[in-house]
Structure 1
Amino acid sequence: MSFQRVPGLVSMITTVYNKLPYLEDCLTSLLNQTYTSWELIIIDDTSTDGSYEYVQNWINENEPLLREGTSIHALQLPRNTGYAGAITTGMYLAKGEFIAIQDADDLSHPDRLTKQVQYLNHHPHIDLLGTNYEVFEDGHPERKTPVHWLKYGDQIGTIYARGGHCICHGTAMFRGTVFDRIGGHTRRIEGAEDYEFIAKVIKPGARNVDNLREVLYYYRKHMKQRSRSYFGKTQKGHDNNA
């Protein structure tokens, strides 16, 4: 029997590895989504700073506040698998028609899920949709700056065909059938898992990925970001399991 995804449900996946200082902001931004049909799947990659214990307490405190149609699930992996292993585990658990990525140190606008689902419902040929975003330095969420590296429409496929990158991975929402078809993130290219995943979603000659121009995500810059180990001080949001 083939797996039947839940229509309209968004499975949000957040991977956590030693992200204790940022979890309250991140999780609260997801709890406050205006979209009313979602499940939050939190995968802890064997944190050592108390992150998983914090997540468990946060769930216990906030589950009574959940609206009908929403749920939160947490899993701690028995060993550290790295970003690709953790996020792919979350994708295997996802039941939703749509899967959304959320990095544990970033924030989502309250209307993020609503607007991405609306777009995907009105554009059935689009398999994966990112959004515009702004960057803020840790401790200064009021000082947000725009980014200028994203591309839109037909430009996206061209950029990836040339080996470039123009979708912020943390903003991505994609159809669950995409995961069913191509699987999750590779563990063979440490530091470029986000690029590889988006690149293999893109169908040559077809415009099946896009970005929303509206800012619906807020990317936190801090010294412990995973991305800094690979890309230095960048604003590109190259993924931070972070």
Structure 2
Amino acid sequence: MSFQRVPGLVSIVTTVYNKLPYLEECLTSLLKQTYSSWELILIDDASTDGSYEYVMNWLNSNEPLLREGKGIYTLRLPRNAGYAGAITAGMYLAKGEFIAIQDADDLSHPDRLARQVRYLKDNPGIDLLGSNYEVFEDGHPERRTPVHWLKYGEQIGKVYAKGGHCICHGTAMFRGTVFDRIGGHTRRIEGAEDYEFIAKVIKPGARNAANLREVLYYYRKHQKQRSRNYFGKSQNEHGHET
């Protein structure tokens, strides 16, 4: 018996490893989504800062939302599996027609899910869809700056064919059948698991990916970012945003 995905449902996958200061804003941005058919799969990668306990308390305080039928699922890994292991575990639990990535320290625009679902339904040839986004320094969400490394349309396939990167991983929504076909993230490129996954979806010369020009995501810069261990302290042109 083949796995049947739920039509129209968006499975939001969020991994958490010691992200306590940012969880309330992240989760609140998801509660404000105008698109109603979604589930949240939150994978705690053996956090040691109280992140998991905070999430459980947050769920209890939002019990009316759960009674409305929202599926919010948490899984605490027994040991730290790393980003690739955690996010792939979440994708295995996702049952939606669409899977959306949401980093635990970032925010989504209220219309993010609605606009991405609409585009994917209107464009059946697109497997993975990102969006434009803005960057803000931690503590100053009102001061956001645009980015200029994203590409659009036919340029996307050309960039990935040359080994480049032009889709922000945190903004990505893709069809669940993509995961069923090619699997999730791997550990082959440490620190660039996000790039490797998107490049795996976009075959050389393919036109199966797109970016929306609308700003639908807000990326937080802070000192504890995983990407800083690999790519320094400045916003890097390859967009490893985890």
- The code of the aligned residue for 2:72 comes to I
Matched length: 240
Contact 1:157–1:202 (Cα < 8 Å) also in 2: yes
Q: Find the counterpart in structure 2 of residue 93 from structure 1.
A: 93
State the TM-score, normalized to the length of structure 1: 0.97
Q: After the TM superposition, which residues 127-206 of structure 1 pair with which residues of structure 2 at under 5 Å, given as runs?
A: 127-206=127-206
Separation (CA, whole Å) in 2 of partners of 1:11 and 1:139: 28
Contact 1:136–1:145 (Cα < 8 Å) also in 2: yes
Secondary structure at the aligned position of 1:226 is classed as: coil
- The code of the aligned residue for 1:130 comes to G
Calculate percent identity across the aligned residue pairs: 84
Q: Find the counterpart in structure 2 of residue 13 from structure 1.
A: 13
Separation (CA, whole Å) in 1 of partners of 2:85 and 2:13: 13
- The code of the aligned residue for 1:239 comes to E
Q: Find the counterpart in structure 2 of residue 238 from structure 1.
A: 240
Separation (CA, whole Å) in 2 of partners of 1:214 and 1:234: 24
- The code of the aligned residue for 1:201 comes to V
Secondary structure at the aligned position of 2:55 is classed as: helix
Contact 2:161–2:203 (Cα < 8 Å) also in 1: no
Separation (CA, whole Å) in 2 of partners of 1:22 and 1:146: 21
Contact 1:85–1:185 (Cα < 8 Å) also in 2: yes
Contact 1:36–1:69 (Cα < 8 Å) also in 2: no
Shift of residue 219, structure 1, vs aligned partner: 0.1
Separation (CA, whole Å) in 2 of partners of 1:28 and 1:63: 14
Shift of residue 189, structure 1, vs aligned partner: 1.4
Separation (CA, whole Å) in 2 of partners of 1:25 and 1:17: 16
Contact 1:38–1:69 (Cα < 8 Å) also in 2: no
Secondary structure at the aligned position of 2:150 is classed as: coil
Separation (CA, whole Å) in 2 of partners of 1:160 and 1:67: 43
Separation (CA, whole Å) in 1 of partners of 2:235 and 2:12: 23
Secondary structure at the aligned position of 2:227 is classed as: helix
Q: Find the counterpart in structure 1 of residue 82 from structure 2.
A: 82
1:45-103 deviation line (CA, Å, top 9, x unaligned): 00000000000111111131247452211110011000000000000000000000000
Q: Find the counterpart in structure 2 of residue 29 from structure 1.
A: 29
- The code of the aligned residue for 1:8 comes to G
Secondary structure at the aligned position of 1:205 is classed as: coil
Q: After the TM superposition, which residues 202-241 of structure 1 pair with which residues of structure 2 at under 5 Å, given as runs?
A: 202-236=202-236, 237-240=239-242
**Residue 106 of structure 2 is aligned to residue 117 of structure 1:** no
The change in CA–CA distance for 1:169 and 1:67 in structure 2 (over 3 A counts) is farther
Secondary structure at the aligned position of 1:54 is classed as: helix
Contact 2:22–2:105 (Cα < 8 Å) also in 1: yes
Structure 1 unmatched ranges of 5 or more = none
Secondary structure at the aligned position of 1:57 is classed as: helix
Contact 2:52–2:76 (Cα < 8 Å) also in 1: yes
Contact 2:26–2:106 (Cα < 8 Å) also in 1: yes
Q: After the TM superposition, which residues 39-118 of structure 1 pair with which residues of structure 2 at under 5 Å, given as runs?
A: 39-66=39-66, 68-118=68-118
Contact 2:158–2:204 (Cα < 8 Å) also in 1: no
1:32-53 deviation line (CA, Å, top 9, x unaligned): 1110100000000000000000
Structure 2 unmatched ranges of 5 or more = none
Separation (CA, whole Å) in 1 of partners of 2:204 and 2:142: 40
